[in-house]
Amino acid sequence: MSPHQPTRRIEITGQQWALGSWEMHSSPSASRLRPLLANPYVGFREETVRPLARREVATLRVPLILNLGAPYHVALGTSTRAEHFSSFVAGVSDIPAVVQGATHSCALQVDFTPLGARALFGRPLAELTNQVVAFDDVLGPQARVLIERLHDAGTWEARFALIDDFFLARLTKADRCDPRVSHVWSQLVATAGQARIDHMARDVGWSRKHLAARFRDEIGLTPKVAARVMRFEALLGCSRAKGRRTWSELAATCGYFDQAHLNRDFAEFAHTTPGSYVRDLVPGDAGLLADGEPFAMAR
């Protein structure tokens, strides 16, 4: 067990449903890493009666998939050509993707904030926007060493400790982004994407155009687009919360002018409709089915 985390709390959830079963183990990271992460670590196994395609909507998270099983097939945006990936990083995005796994899947997921990914991967996130990149193309041979150690580890607890150690070591030489960009990002987060861009530009002493360019380079999207994606992610979170509310009520709660604007974001950021989104949720909030979408596998 890692000396950085002598005890580890692990929450286990799972479900059986018509197409198979899944089990998920989640655990907080080391405390020094938590400001850089969007969610706790997750390790999961899934068995299904056939390969399932899931739709991943536009997001401001930067997920790292550490794969211990068969490769995934990923198609971005409107493409029906899927690339093969084992372990990979997905950049921030304003387009959806479809990800198809095998009938037996086993992997870990680490969700970074944009600032966390910028610091720990040591590169501007514009290089990853709307892309999926093999983990070893991002971090080189050390990525392959981590995957080998995760394969050899016998428990989820040991795997989470290995991830802690790996990124704590990188934290000592983290490459932070421009503090003015960090300030603007913090303002967007604090206001759930409602902060005025002209006010933020004035706060940091930049023009709106210069702010958009610098923010896009460091974070991966312009402040305006990032605010829209942030609002959409908040909407999806509210829609899955307990208590039935109409989409019109949710639109008002999350800062949409009306439901027509909400529908536009569903079409742009998820390639679906609100009704289809609800229908396609995997039981237990374990993803969004995208069955029926054809794949032409890239060679």
Delineate the domains of the chain, giving CATH numbers in brackets.
11-171 (2.60.120.10), 179-273 (1.10.10.60)
Least confident of 13-17, 204-208, 268-272: 13-17
Q: Are 263 and 89 contacting, i.e. CB atoms less than 8 angstroms apart?
A: no
Cα–Cα dist 112/89, whole Å: 10
- Beta-bridge partners for 288: 281
Count other C-beta atoms under 10 Å from residue 259's C-beta: 16
- From residue 174, alpha-carbon distances to 33, 181, 295 in Å are 11, 16, 38
Least confident of 10-19, 57-66, 195-204, 236-245: 236-245
pLDDT digits (tens, 9 = 90+) for 62-99: 999 999 999 999 999 888 788 999 999 999 999 999 99
Cα–Cα dist 63/74, whole Å: 14
Confidence of residue 235 (pLDDT cuts 50, 70, 90): very high
Q: Are 231 and 58 contacting, i.e. CB atoms less than 8 angstroms apart?
A: no
pLDDT > 90: percent of the chain: 71
Q: Which residue has the higher pLDDT, 282 or 112?
A: 112
pLDDT digits (tens, 9 = 90+) for 143-171: 999 999 999 998 999 999 999 999 999 99
Q: What pLDDT score does 298 carry?
A: 44
pLDDT digits (tens, 9 = 90+) for 283-298: 777 788 886 554 444 4
pLDDT digits (tens, 9 = 90+) for 15-55: 898 888 999 999 999 999 999 999 999 999 999 998 888 99
Q: What pLDDT score does 6 carry?
A: 53
Report whether pLDDT(299) > 50. no
Nearest to 163 by CA among 278, 243, 66: 66
Residues 6+ apart with CB under 8 A from 212: 222, 223, 224
Mean pLDDT of the chain: 91
Q: What pLDDT score does 243 carry?
A: 65
Report whether pLDDT(242) > 50. yes
Q: What pLDDT score does 297 carry?
A: 47
Highest mean pLDDT among 111-125, 235-249, 269-283: 111-125
* 208-219 helix and 197-204 helix, angle to the nearest 10 degrees: 90
